[in-house]
Amino acid sequence: MFMDSSSSSSSLPITREEFNAFHSFDRALFTRIVVSLKEDITQSFQVMSFLIYLDRSVCGSKLISNLVSLPDHSINAVVDEVQICRRCLSYTHFPTFLASMGSINAASIPWIRRMTREKLTLAVIHLNRNEIILEMTDILNTICYPAFEDICVLFETHKERKFIQFLCGQQGTSNRVAAGTSNVEGQHVRADERTVFLKFSKGYPISEAEVHDYFTRRFGDIVEAIHMGGGKRKDQAMYACMVLRSAAKIPEIVSDGLDRTKFTINGKYFWARRFIPNRKIR
């Protein structure tokens, strides 16, 4: 149950469905920013908290709904300006901020100035810095995190599944994982039937070598290939696709084929689960 964040503390509790419906425009804009514009999720939370602040405090509750109707390139321009505003908020002294931005000046947010009818400039934002930061923090906790949580889960799951399917040869071939079958224990077993999906903790990167050494020490020579994904460098991957030589080894790694099993490598936690191909999901 949730409390309606737009009302007083005496409001009746509302359901998640009602909460999400109330913030439908916020959810639609967040989805556009993350999915269409491919912005980082963490940064997108911050962008939305600033835009909702403007919607509440300056624009009379029409800014978000108006933004949703704009094309992607226009939303992208607004997002870029919000990032400038956020950087402005991070500086204690306004002249230092301007000096750090080079060609950026106090009038360099035309979209935001136009949306706020020239009420908001970078100078005004910095003047109200403490108030805005407090408001954004409250909005993050009371609106953004609860309203966008399910969107983030679906988006990350979609990315992970596309990554695994590609590596398992369902969308092409990989130079290290065969797209076809493997003769294992007298049966022909597809690569995706022998795949374990590994999910790492954010901020605790685990390398491919660490994964390979860990499972080899614990279970023997069971690993056919490991592919890391979700990070700019392999040692910063957020998840991995580990193809085993035998599907029979999966129950030794994952206690329940549908649940995640927790492991620790060098003090860093990660989780393993059986990969379920799309053809098995209705």
Residue 99, C-beta contacts closer than 8 angstroms, at least 6 positions apart:
none
Q: pLDDT at position 115, please?
A: 87
Residue 48 to residue 279: CA distance in whole angstroms: 36
Residue 164 confidence (pLDDT): 62
**What is the radius of gyration, based on Cα positions, of the chain?**
24
pLDDT score, position 198: 87
Which DSSP category does 115 fall into? H
CATH architecture of the region 168-280:
2-Layer Sandwich (3.30)
Give the pLDDT score at 60.
67
How far, in Å, CA of 122 to CA of 89, rounded? 9
Q: Name the segment(s) of the chain with CATH classification 3.30.70.330.
A: 168-280
pLDDT score at 73: 93
* pLDDT reported for residue 54: 92
The whole-number pLDDT of residue 211 equals 93
Query: What pLDDT does residue 177 have?
Result: 39
Round to whole Å and give the CA distance between 82 and 51: 8
Ranges of residues in the chain whose predicted pLDDT is under 50: 1, 3-10, 170-180, 183, 185-187, 234, 257-258, 279-282
Alpha-carbon dihedral 28, 64, 22, 42, rounded to 10 degrees: 60
Helix/strand/coil for 183 = strand
Q: How many of the other CB atoms lie within 10 Å of CB of 248?
A: 14
Measured between alpha carbons, how far is residue 206 from residues 87, 145, 244, 273 in Å? 31, 27, 19, 17
Q: 3-class SS at 133?
A: helix
